[in-house]
Amino acid sequence: MLKLIYLSTGLSAVFFGLGVFQLRLQKFEDGYRKDTKSMPILFGLIYPLIQIFAFINNSLELKGFEEKVKKKLTISGNPLHLIPVEFLALKQVAALGGFLFGLLLVFSHEAKPMLAVLFGMIAFFLPNLWLSETIDRRKSEIFRTQPYFMDLLTLSVQAGLDFTQAIARVVERGQPGALRDEFEKLLQDIRLGLTRRDALLGLAERTDMYEIRSFASALIQADKMGTPLAEALSTQSEMRRGERFQVAEKKANEAPVKMLFPLLFFIFPAVFIMILVPILLKFMEEGM
């Protein structure tokens, strides 16, 4: 009986090890390469638990979920270096943490048991909110920095460099950020043998932004029609700068409307209290 227990434990450890190896192989094949030392400390602490849940999730049929999540992770830049089954595992670990926190409140404050379930359900969707926020923040950064990179790319081409050399110069001289990382990936794709068209389409798909799709389409069209590349890049740079100015102008026009609520409900009452209360107190003292 003891030997059977040892054998079962050993087989479980072997299968778990093979599952973890399969997950790491999947991460390598999908291009999810990242130094684990750069992970956040809290994420590093719960990562072994995520691996356990991911090992279980990997045996499930989640093709639709995996495709949808993989696309979102790619657009977000995948800062935590996750594959879809690990993202689902992160949601499960978050739900478990929320449930345990709810149980703590139930036992310490004699709250209703449903509170633990509610906390678990809310925590389950927190990774989705984080992912959506990461995508919005990354797209905003790309939109803000694109004119600078377009100018640098245009100057490099006008200086006599071909497209690949110009991209390499942009990656070398450009400021660190999301768009620089995407241009670095674009350069890697071209050097690995992809055509310029396929590499640009990959760039547009990874960012999922109109501005990048327009940039990729313009360069593909220029390459197809024989239009000078510097001219197409210069046009794109002017368009992106104009769009950024329009967005800034729109936000400036919206500022007074957004300021109306805090003015009416916070600033004006405070000002009235500071002005009127001393006057009212003085009248009350004189009346007395």
pLDDT 10s digits, 3-45? 444 444 544 444 444 454 454 444 444 444 444 456 678 888 8
pLDDT reading at 161 higher than 50: yes
70 or 234, greater pLDDT: 70
Give alpha helix (H) positions in the chain.
2-29, 41-57, 63-76, 84-109, 114-158, 163-173, 178-191, 196-207, 210-225, 229-262, 268-287
Identify the CA nearest to 182 among candidates 133, 142, 232, 131.
142
Decide if 152 contacts 165 (C-beta within 8 A): no
Q: Is the pTM of this model over 0.85?
A: no
Query: Does 236 have pLDDT greater than 90?
Result: no
In the chain, what are the domain boundaries?
17-111, 141-245
Rg (CA), the chain: 28
- At 288 the pLDDT is 53
Q: Mean pLDDT across the stretch 192-211?
A: 91
Domain 141-245: assigned CATH number: 1.20.81
Tell me the average pLDDT across 228-242.
82
Mean pLDDT, range 247-254, rounded to an integer: 78
Separation of alpha carbons 159 and 153, rounded Å: 10
pLDDT averaged over the chain?
81
Q: What is the DSSP string of 71-90?
A: HHHHHHT-TT---HHHHHHH
**Dist. CA 215–CA 232, nearest whole Å:** 9
- pLDDT 10s digits, 75-128: 999 988 899 999 999 999 999 999 999 898 888 877 788 888 899 999 999 999
Inter-residue contact 181 to 247 (CB < 8 Å): no
Contact 57, 85 (CB under 8 A): yes
Mean pLDDT over 191-205 rounds to: 91
Q: What is the pLDDT of residue 138?
A: 94
- pLDDT score for 286: 73
- Could you give the percent of the chain with pLDDT greater than 70? 86
pLDDT value at residue 146: 87
- The Cα 97–Cα 103 span in angstroms is 10
Contact 178, 77 (CB under 8 A): yes
The whole-number average pLDDT for the span 137-147 is 90
Tokens of 150: 């377009």
Per-residue pLDDT, 38 = 60
Tell me if 122 sits within 8 A of 98, measured CB to CB.
yes
- Percentage of the chain exceeding pLDDT 90: 30
Summarised one tens digit per residue, pLDDT across range 168-188 is: 999 988 888 899 999 999 999
